Amino acid sequence: MPVLRFYGRLSPFKRVILALILGISAGLFFGELMGNLEIIGKAYIRLLQMTVLPYVLVSIIGGLGRLDAHMAGRIGMKAVRIILVLWLAVMLTLILLPLAYPSWETAGFFSSSLVAEPTVFNFVDLYIPSNIFSSLSNTIVPAVVLFSLLMGVSLISVKDKETFINLTSSVGDTLMGVASFVAKLAPIGIFAISSAAAGTLDPEELGRLQVFLWVYLIAAALLAFILLPLIIHWATPFSYRQILSVSGEAVITALATGTVLVVLPMIIERTKEMLEKHDMDCEETRSTVDVLVPTAYSFPSTGTLLGLGFILFSSWYVGSPLSIDQYPSYIVMGALTAFGSMAVAIPFLLDFFGLPADQFQLYLLGSVVTARFATALAALHGFVVTLLVASAVVRRLKWHRMFQAIGLHLGVTAVVMVITGMLLTYLIPYEYEGTQTFESMRLIGTPSPIKQISKPQALSKEEQARPRLDVIRERGVIRVGYFSNALPYSFRNNKADLVGYDMEIINDLALDLGLKIEFTHIKRRGTEDKLLSDGRIDIAIGGNGITPDGALTMTYTTPYTHHTAGLVVLDRYRDEFATMEAINEMEKLVLAVPDTDYYSRIVKKHFPNAEQISVSNAREFFKGMHKEANAFIYSSEAASAWGLLYPEYTVLIPKGLKFKIPAAFELPKGELAFVEYMNTWLLLKKENGFLQTVYNYWILGEDPQKKEPRWSVVRNVFGWNM
């Protein structure tokens, strides 16, 4: 067939590009129907990951084990130092990439990751494997790499090691054979991944991916045309033009074929020619080239490390950029996980830094483009490392000039990234929609008949003497007192409807009891006990935290949720408030605190040196009425909702701050029957999943209602309902 003949003539790279184009087209045409192919994409990812760690194991052991002790001692330390310096230079380059990310206003609902225990950087668990098979099965890449390095170094001095080395070569070749077979499935896997993504991802998500691609390509160009050749030009006898012209053939070949393996002989041959032209050809340099080129192939290259920039992009993408204190672990963990492929490293690092695992799908979409440039950079990296080590062996390497070149590169990169950020902000359309999203939220349940009461009447003496639950059921109305602006528990949406977490629960309570609802606005906290006592209201809502003082004059139901103490700060100050230790060391710390003695005492306990400013309403702080305050200590759940309206603020829970306050409904004092009923009803709603559904919607922002299908040609153009 002509189609099959045409496909057969295509190179592997062109087949992958064709699969990507067809996949995106199918996703746009058929829409969410293509989401069913996600399982095929996941299977392809598993196949990619399957051989990586075993190959890392045997390739490092075999590569190092081939060296003899004399040669290893002569070359090893110089090579290690140079490779480490290059790794550090590239990782520092990656840290500058966020300068290019547009300063878009972003905010989100409360995330459980805020309260999740951060992953502790445990050196022993990550690097020292007590059971290498456990490390392999659990994809603990650093431990596997360390074990392989130690095995390889130990193998150098072992006699009669040829049989074992040949075994590692055979196993490595076998694994490469499996990987080659999987590579042939790349068009199928890429088609499944791209069609499922294009059919289900929001256009905004695909739009943001281009930010990563542009920044990646610019960073790749800076590494290829500034860092690597400039180091050679300044620190060795070789010129800038010479390294680019000689390496050009290998770089282009690697870019076209998608693998560095095929150009290793070319790198060895061209490197020896360059050494000979500069009178650096000797037994030591020839041995350096012969050993280092194939051995370095097993180690992370500049191109491999550049892919780790996706972690920084992902943290920006989800609105939770890595803090400064996380950068050291990012540098170390990134370099070590890069010994495997990005198919293993990216999921591992996403999990390590608490980022959504499904971000890996976005990485795979972009990798169709980035993988080729990574391979080209890896080929150039092979030239540079080999020439640097060879120059060091014959004492022709100028270390201080190498560091100067790295410093210049980092300076240029910083400037370029700032300019890139300005251009991307201007060129890529973006509009913050968090405010509209939150203000348009509706009750997910069927609304009960409601009535707003401005001046509620107290119950008569006779009614006050009766059980309140009997009075409520007899009149068919439950009187609810609410606090306005108690986001996201009780507030008015853009339709002026009373909505929120608590409103949803009370609405369902009224439906179960067959009651109407009369709402009364409570203007000031601390006055609801009197309204409850004389019957002007039967229940008070609004995310009310349980306090000892409140328990003296009111009765609380069983807690239906919790407030997690956190800090609200302007985005630009988030790093300064990352830990309790750093906060309490501030010379002048002013905290805005809810106007309650109980909370004031708690804040004093955790922040003994802080000056406190009482805030009666959260809106006061968010509208800038307390500019003297460095931060606002408040419920993280509630503050996240406010942050949707004021995205210039961010919500964080400093490391070391662990404090929760249970939230409950407030009932009249002494109404035991009413309290027992409410507690029983809340238990029932917890067990049947209703409370979790409401929490997911109002706190986490997960809409339980069926969404409109994604736009697609089939549905929106042809009108076919599939």
- Whether residue 703 lies inside any domain: the answer is no
Same domain, 139 and 279: yes
Q: For the chain, what percent of residues have pLDDT higher than 90?
A: 35
Q: Which of 394, 426, 458 is the last residue of a domain?
A: 426
**542 and 585 part of one domain:** no
Considering the domain architecture, whether residues 555 and 595 belong to the same structural domain is answered as: no
Same domain as 482, residue 373:
no
Confidence of residue 46 (pLDDT cuts 50, 70, 90): confident
Clarify whether residues 659 and 672 are in a common domain.
Answer: no
Position 176 scores a pLDDT of 72
CATH code assigned at 481? 3.40.190.10
Domain of 543 in residue numbering reads as 437-559+667-694
pLDDT of residue 61: 81
pLDDT of residue 718: 66
Res. 261 pLDDT band, cuts 50 70 90: low
Q: Is residue 683 part of a domain?
A: yes
Tell me the pLDDT tens digit for each residue of 64-108: 777 666 666 767 788 889 989 999 999 999 999 999 998 877 777
Q: What is the pLDDT of residue 696?
A: 92
Whether residue 702 is contained in a domain is answered as: no
Q: What does the pLDDT read at residue 133?
A: 83
- Average pLDDT score over residue span 630-658: 90
| Domain termination residue (choose one: 401, 426, 451) | 426
672 and 653 in one domain?
no
* b/e code 28-67 from CB counts within 10 Å (16+ = b): bbbbbbbbebbebbeebbebbbbbbbbbbbbbbbbbbbbb
Boundary of a domain, candidates 644, 663, 682: 663
The pLDDT assigned to 257 comes to 59
Are 126 and 205 within one domain? yes
What is the structure's pLDDT at 57? Answer: 79
Q: Is the pLDDT of residue 507 over 70?
A: yes
pLDDT for the residue numbered 400: 93
What's the confidence (pLDDT) of residue 114? 66
Q: Indicate whether 625 belongs to any domain.
A: yes
Query: For residue 273, what pLDDT is reported?
Result: 86
Please report the pLDDT score of residue 235 as a whole number: 93
Using CB atoms within 10 A of its CB, is residue 228 exposed (0-12), middle (13-18) or buried (19+)?
A: buried
- Are 539 and 607 part of one and the same domain? no
402 touches 83 (CB < 8 A): no
Instruction: Share the mean pLDDT of the chain.
Output: 84
Instruction: Note whether 39 and 188 are same-domain residues.
Output: yes
**Does 700 fall in a domain?**
no
pLDDT at 159: 83
Confidence of residue 375 (pLDDT cuts 50, 70, 90): confident
The angle, 0 to 180 degrees and rounded to 10, between the axes of the packed helices 342-352 and 141-156 is 130
Specify the range with the lowest mean pLDDT, choosing from 250-264, 271-285, 459-473, 561-575. 250-264
382 and 410 inside one domain: yes
CATH of the domain at 330: 1.10.3860
Neighbouring C-beta atoms of residue 181, cutoff 10 Å: 11
Look up residue 371 and give its amino acid.
Answer: A
DSSP E strands in 82-239: the ranges are none
Lowest mean pLDDT among 196-200, 221-225, 450-454, 466-470: 196-200
For 329-353, b/e burial (b = at least 16 CB within 10 A) is bbbbbbbbbbbbbbbbbbbbbbebb
**517 contacts 449 by C-beta, under 8 angstroms:** yes
pLDDT digits (tens, 9 = 90+) for 202-260: 665 666 678 899 999 999 999 999 999 999 999 999 999 888 888 887 787 777 556 67
Tokens 């690597």 identify what position? 228
Number of domains in the chain: 3
Q: Where are the alpha helices (DSSP H) in 428-453?
A: 434-439
Reference 63, options 51, 45, 75; nearest CA is: 75
Domain membership flag for residue 707: no
Across 307-316, 352-361, 456-465, 583-592, least confident range: 352-361
Is residue 209 domain-shared with residue 131, that is, in the same domain? yes
* Element at 684 (helix H, strand E): helix 672-687
Assigned domain for 701 exists: no
User: Tell me: the pLDDT tens digits for 300-358?
Assistant: 889 989 999 999 998 888 777 887 878 888 888 888 888 767 777 888 888 888 787 77
**Residue 716 belongs to a domain:** no
- Mean pLDDT, range 680-706, rounded to an integer: 90
pLDDT in tens, 127-151: 677 788 888 877 776 777 778 878 8
Whether residues 168 and 135 share a domain: the answer is yes
